[in-house]
Chains A and B, each alone.
Chain A
């Protein structure tokens, strides 16, 4: 017997049983998991590094090292938006290179640096628009489209600048990358990043546009049916990403005081790593700006600390890669355990033993096979 339930015929509820406010626990609950873990890791990193080297908690040093990560940070801000919608942008670093190269070419033609910089920003925005067009209108998968533009933009950078360099930028411009705020140790680029991070964070968490992003990430089709202008939003995201890449390009060029076409190569993977480590789910639908910023800080501290211990750059990435995997793995394990655990039977134990054996043999071979060569070379 199905009667339609209308408010007037609804079963009367005891007053306090059902709250009319939406459950707050889930949002705050999420916040307490990942972001607090990041805070804990940051504190741990500070403590461990301070113990390991006396140069870590030095204002000058921290100030100098922080600028190394700001370009990454600037590109990470729109990347968070893009990943939340379930897409990706592999072309950010190439876009950076293209814009910086355009600026360098114009500067070498004796055009005013600020006009050249402006041209670079326009170029980046257009590059982002190309991405947006391919993804929102032509409906190419984001990975595929940005893989193509990743190669294409870098190519344009080489066409523009070739084996030339842009150099000799005026101090007013290099201030962007090298300057400090007056009377402080805070670099200008850090200040710029902080301001933009707040702006992006507010847009993400406090505006309707931001809510749309989460919605698209969770269920794009439902959003289309609900009338959300999904294509237009995606286009906006990629255009903004292009603009921020160009801005990062200006900052990087200012930091170096010069530009070569290969500037910024490889940064895209670091940007994505930073975003994902910050709790942004690669499948879309979740993430916070504060988490992303925290993860940037964490990566910066760990990298800086390891550098002070003279750990080789290529080895440093082991820690970052490991951290990335571990963070998600732990969350996954915790979920499995709280969902009921894993059945431990002879088969699982046997499999685990075999795997451990395989890895043990591998590491044994690792050290055994290199010993004679290293002995011969290094003595």
Chain B
């Protein structure tokens, strides 16, 4: 008679399944890679992969911050407008004074973004306005402020300082800086969410706000914090955007917020809060980048591009949700 220890964790099958919470999106990416790779051999090259990474770096930075917001059962629809506003303010500043060190420029952008995020946080955490409404409002307010600030004027590339584009596109370490920014942010957010008390508190607030409060977690402060963080990320993204595209217009980053939400959702972040991982979001952003890239390489007419993108997003979202649900169900058994 073999006595099984009833309290020992059922080792291999279940643990493997748990680890593959991102199974849905990984499968999707693999299928996409194979299908497109067969049709366009350029897809699976290192150069192309680097191009995809450059393309999604800014998205990754903002999507990670958006994830933290969504984890608390919130949403931040104002990031696109924040990026536009910070990009415009930074562009004006360095046009006037091209000698400002790049480090200061980056810090300036993050500080400006932090203020915008603070406003969001105040309205939501203190004012108790539902996040979707509050950020819908600030989306309009910040976008309008871009015009108030610039009076409609666009900053063209030849009016920016020589070294500014290098901030995002320079390759002192062999790969474009913007990718390095994204990697650093990803590591920081991963560490923050998984290894610090505040990070775990964010999950708690999203999972069960009442229980979190009973346990003594300062719910209001956590919620305030994530919006400030989202603002800082948007500020950094604004500086990088202006640097990568070497321009700032009144409609810079219009509609970008929906892409960040899509990246998070495809990456397995639950819109109800409390569920989501950094690797998942990275995969989600990668999936979006691959879809964009694939659609170009496969030479579909530009008008089919949008439909293909939409369909792929739909499939990614549906399959990811279904597979995750299946896995969650299996976990409970």
Contacts and interface: CB of A to CB of B under 8 A. Distances in A.
Interface of A: 134, 138, 140-141, 143-145, 147-156, 158-159, 162-163, 261, 269, 272-273, 276, 282-283, 312, 314-318, 320-322, 324-325, 328-329, 332-333, 336, 355, 358-359, 362, 365-366, 369-370, 372-374, 377-378
Given A152-B311, A314-B143, A332 B136 contact: no
Interface string B176-216: 00000000000000000000000000000000000000000
B152 A366 contact: no
Chain B interface residue number, banded: 35 or more
B123 A159 contact: no
Interface of B: 75, 89, 92-93, 95-96, 112, 115, 118-119, 122-123, 127-130, 132-134, 136-141, 143-153, 250, 258, 261-262, 265, 271-272, 301, 303-311, 313-314, 317-318, 321-322
B144 A321 contact: yes
B129 A320 contact: no
Given A141-B271, A321-B141, A312 B130 contact: no
A169 to B, nearest CB: 22
Nearest to A98: B307
Contact of A282 (B119, B132, B271): B132
B309 A155 contact: yes
Given A152-B313, A314-B144, A322-B140, 7 more contacts: A140-B321, A147-B317, A148-B314, A155-B305, A276-B133, A328-B133, A374-B153
A152 B291 CA distance: 13
Most chain B beta-carbon contacts within 10 A, residue among A155, A316, A355, A372: A155
B303 A158 contact: yes
B303 A159 contact: yes
B265 A283 contact: no
Given A158-B306, A312-B152, A318 B140 contact: yes
A143 B144 contact: no
Contacts of B123: 325, 329
A325 B122 contact: no
B134 A325 contact: yes
Contact of A140 (B92, B96, B250, B318): B318
Given A151-B310, A332-B128, A370-B92, A355 B318 contact: no
A149 B306 CA distance: 12
A151 B266 CA distance: 14
A369 B89 contact: yes
B307 A329 contact: no
B310 A153 contact: yes
